[in-house]
Structure formats: C-alpha cells, structure tokens
Amino acid sequence: MAIQQKGMHGAWASRWTFIMAATGSAVGLGNMWKFPYVAGSNGGGAFVLVYLGCILLIGVPVMMAEVLIGRQGRQSPVNSMRDVVNESGADSRWRHVGWVGVAAGMLILSFYAVIAGWALAYIFEAASGDLVGINGDTAGAIFGNLLADPGRLIFWQSVFMLLCIGVVVGGVKKGLGVAVEILMPLLFIMLLLLLGFSFFKGDFAAAWNFLFNFNVELLTWRGVLEAMGQAFFTLSIGMGAIMAYGAYMPQNANIGKTVLIVAFFDSLVAIVSGLIIFSIVFATPGIEPSAGPGLMFISLPIAFGGMPGGLLIGSAFFVLVSIAAWSSAISLLEPCVAWLIEAKNMGRVQANLLLAGFAWLLGLGSVLSFNVWSHIKLAGFTIFDFLDFLTANIMLPLSGLLIALFVGYAMKKELIDTQMVGTSARVMKLWQVTLRYIAPVAISAVFVMGIVDKFFS
Ligand code: PHE
C-alpha cells in the first residue's frame, strides 16, 4: 500500500525546477516585508549577523534533513514521516513531527494571505496615483484606513487565496512547476531593476551601513530568538513545505549542493530587499528604520510618492512582493493538499477548496485583529501577532529541532546513505555533528533564553 502511494503526485521536471520551487517557497513576505522591519527594530547589523549565522549553522543542515526525509518518503510530510519512521524501526512517536508541520502550515497560510492581500491592495494604491506627494500623516492614514476596513481586507485576502488555489489545483508539474518557472525569473529581474533604482536614487551607503554595521548593544535574547525564528520562517523549514517539495525532487540531484543554492538565493533576496527598502527610507527625511510592520506600507509609500517615477516604481515594487508571497503560499498549501489526497482519497480540486477555505476562515481572526478585535490579546499579543510568534518562533524551531534529532539519531543509516550518495565523507561528518549537537543545543538555548526574555523580563 505504502509502496503504491509513492510518487502519486508526480515530480519536478528537473533539479532546476526544484531549486526554483524551493527558492519560490523560501523567498516571500519573510524576506521582503518581515526581514527589513525585524532587522530594523533589532538595530540592524548585529541582528543580520546572527540571522546569517542561524541560516548557515542551523537552517542549511535542517533543510537538508527535511529534503532527505521527503525524497525518501515520496509523499506528503505526514506520510513520508510515517514511512521513514517505520522503515527506520524508530519509535513511532516520531511520526507526530509531520503533524506539527501541517498545523503550522495552515496557521501560517491564514495570516500570510492577509498580509499578501495588503501588497495586492497597494499595487492599485500606487498605480492610481494616490501616493503621489503624500507625507507621513497621509501615508499613515491610507494604511490605517485599509487596516480599519475588514471588508477590503477580506476582499484582498480572498483574491490572494484564489490565486493560490489556481496554481495548486494544477498539480506538481502543470501547476506549481509551471508557476515557479515563470514567477521566479520575473522576480529576480524586478529585484535587480529596483536595486539599480535604489542604488542611484536612494541613500545606498546609509542602507549598507545600517545592515552591516555591527552594533551589539542593540541585540537582546529576544532579538536572537527572532533572528532564529526568522531563519526558519524565511527558509520555509520546520513546516513540511520543503519536505513536500523534496518528495518531488529527482533522485539524482545532490541534496547538500541543491540546498546551499536555495539558502544562498534566499539570503541574497533578504539582503537585497533590505538594501532597497532602507536606501529608499533613508533618502526620505523623517522616517524611522524601526517603524515595524508598517515599514513597507507607510514608510516606503511616502518615499515612492516623493520621487520622480515613483508611481511606476511603487506599483512594480508591490507586484514584486505579491509574486514572492504567491510562490511561497502555494508551498504552504501543497503539503496539506497532498496529505488530504493520500489520506482521504480526495480529488485535488476538492482538497484545495477545503484547505484553502479553512485557512481563509482562520485568517478572518487576523483580519479582525487589526480592527474590531484589536483589543483581544493572547499572551499579550493580538491574534495576528500571536499566530506569527507561535509559528515562526515556536512551532518551526521546535519541529526543526525534532527533524534534526530524528535524522541525527533515529533514522536508519542505510536510508540516509542512499539519499546522500556522492556526498564526501567530510561533509557527511560535518552535517551529522551539526544535526546531533550544534543545531539541537543552539535551538534549545535560544528557545529558553528568548522565551524567558519575552515573558519574564
Ligand atoms: N519562507 C516564506 C517567506 O519567507 C514563508 C514560509 C514559511 C513559506 C514556511 C512556507 C513555509 O515568506
């Protein structure tokens, strides 16, 4: 039965399609919206360094482990995990790791679609000329009006969800594969154009200094936890997206090298987005880099509104953000859809409608947390902030920790070796040490210190 199920969803056309799909998953709101503002509110340079350290030391090894489990199991994360645990003769409780992923995926998709909806709304806001000549107050009012209007938020959230369904119903080859092959090159071209623009028209030097000047006093344990959470979130690891994509990866592709390419692209896009955003922000007097989630939607529009060609550049920028969000959100939906198809024998269309509908419904909680429910607090957070903190800073690192421990200690060696053929003994050793010791210790320490810092100081 398990054997027959293998590969039932199809496979990527080539290793490059996997790279583009995984990069599409990784590069998203996390890089363009979240990274700049979290770096901004944690003081810049030192945060960026910790973040890059987490990517290399924890992110890459855990991502390799996830791809490996996926490619061995060739199914949705839940069933891949179950089969690999069985084949390894490991404790059956390891299976549950797959479930943390599916749950986190639904939770993330729920609020992700809301923020992506803001980006969609701003394409039209920018194109309509509404941003021309605005100042801080008007920019704040435009954003404030959007957040205060549940109807508009729900409209854009729904449009975004429909875009995601449109791709995922097409399946692995014709849906996701085709989408990423078009969207990713487009994304990179637009990013380069905007980088050129910000280099010549913005304050590039100030942005560079802000992101790379090391200011350690501004960093707290909470900041380090956020840097680690950001590393997990941005690489799409700990959730099953990468495991699901790994299930469709050609057998002959080298996992280590492929993952390094994806992590490189992802970090590059985060840094470049930071440079673009801060160049524009610093060129505009009176805007703070630490503006928080509004950085992209308040500070940037002021800057766009005040510059020649800002109408075009502004719309292009929000198209770019929407594309990035789109290619990520499909990877939040696919693992859950694949699981429903396998477990309940459901059709792809039905599974899509059901799960996207569920995430949409859940997303209403986030929509309302910006207006009528803004007074409702969970552990001191609004519903939206709570979901963001819970998934990025707790669920993803936790399930990443379990994945590292599983592949490090419990997975059958022969299975690992078959998936890692062609990898040098030195790299294997280094990877194993990281999974067994470095990643678990680092994740646990950051976890404990970050949580203590958040709730007890
Ligand atoms: N990596 C995506 C981003 O940076 C978010 C994401 C997280 C996507 C987890 C899939 C799984 O925006």
pTM, 2 dp: 0.92
Work out the percent of the chain whose per-residue pLDDT is above 70. 98
> Does 28 contact ligand 1 (Cβ within 6 A)?
yes
Evaluate whether 216 touches 42 at the Cβ level (below 8 Å): no
**By alpha-carbon position, which residue is closest to atom 7 of ligand 1?**
236
> Does 234 contact ligand 1 (Cβ within 6 A)?
yes
Q: What angle do CA 167, 173, 177 make, to 5 degrees?
A: 60
> Does 333 contact ligand 1 (Cβ within 6 A)?
no
Rg over alpha carbons for the chain, rounded to the nearest Å, is 21
In the block, residue with structure tokens 């399930």: 399
Give the pLDDT confidence score for residue 4 in this predicted structure.
36
Q: What is the mean pLDDT of residues 24-48?
A: 91
- Report how far ligand 1's centroid is from the alpha carbon of 235 (Å): 6
Length of the chain: 457
The confidence band for 305, taking pLDDT boundaries of 50, 70 and 90, is: confident
The confidence band for 245, taking pLDDT boundaries of 50, 70 and 90, is: very high
Give the pLDDT confidence score for residue 294 in this predicted structure.
81
What is the distance of C-alpha 246 from the center of its chain?
16
> Does 30 contact ligand 1 (Cβ within 6 A)?
yes
Q: Is the pLDDT of residue 3 over 60?
A: no
> Does 31 contact ligand 1 (Cβ within 6 A)?
yes
Find, among 237, 241, 253, the residue nearest to 419 by Cα.
253
351/354 Cα distance (integer angstroms): 5
Q: Is the pLDDT of residue 1 over 50?
A: no
**By alpha-carbon position, which residue is closest to atom 9 of ligand 1?**
236
242/450 Cα distance (integer angstroms): 26
pLDDT, tens only, 269-298: 999 999 999 998 888 877 777 777 788 898
Evaluate whether 107 touches 362 at the Cβ level (below 8 Å): yes
The confidence band for 401, taking pLDDT boundaries of 50, 70 and 90, is: very high
The confidence band for 118, taking pLDDT boundaries of 50, 70 and 90, is: very high
Question: What is the three-state SS of 153-172?
Answer: HHHHHHHHHHHHHHHHCCHH
Find, among 255, 304, 309, the residue nearest to 276 by Cα.
304
pLDDT, tens only, 134-191: 888 888 899 999 999 999 999 999 999 999 999 999 999 899 999 999 999 999 998 9
195/201 Cα distance (integer angstroms): 10
- Report how far ligand 1's centroid is from the alpha carbon of 285 (Å): 32
Q: Is the pLDDT of residue 456 over 90?
A: no
Question: Which of the listed residues 109, 111, 180, 233 should we mutate to test ligand 1's pocket, taking the one with most ligand atoms within 8 A of CB?
Answer: 233
- Report how far ligand 1's centroid is from the alpha carbon of 236 (Å): 4
> Does 230 contact ligand 1 (Cβ within 6 A)?
no
Structure tokens at 111: 């609020």
**By alpha-carbon position, which residue is closest to atom 11 of ligand 1?**
236
402/104 Cα distance (integer angstroms): 14
Give the pLDDT confidence score for residue 41 in this predicted structure.
82
- Domain positions in the chain are 2-455
Give the pLDDT confidence score for residue 6 in this predicted structure.
52
Question: Which of the listed residues 236, 330, 336 should we mutate to test ligand 1's pocket, taking the one with most ligand atoms within 8 A of CB?
Answer: 236
> Does 236 contact ligand 1 (Cβ within 6 A)?
yes
pLDDT, tens only, 403-414: 999 999 999 999
The confidence band for 457, taking pLDDT boundaries of 50, 70 and 90, is: low
Question: Which of the listed residues 102, 331, 393 should we mutate to test ligand 1's pocket, taking the one with most ligand atoms within 8 A of CB?
Answer: 331
> Does 101 contact ligand 1 (Cβ within 6 A)?
no
What does the mean pLDDT of the chain come to? 91
- Report how far ligand 1's centroid is from the alpha carbon of 118 (Å): 17
> Does 33 contact ligand 1 (Cβ within 6 A)?
no
Give the pLDDT confidence score for residue 145 in this predicted structure.
95
Provide the H-helix boundaries in 128-220: 136-147, 150-168, 171, 178-201, 204-212
Q: Indicate the CATH number for domain 2-455.
A: 1.20.1740.10
> Does 239 contact ligand 1 (Cβ within 6 A)?
yes
Find, among 17, 456, 449, the residue nearest to 225 by Cα.
449
- State which ligand 1 atom lies nearest to the alpha carbon of 332: 10
The confidence band for 391, taking pLDDT boundaries of 50, 70 and 90, is: very high
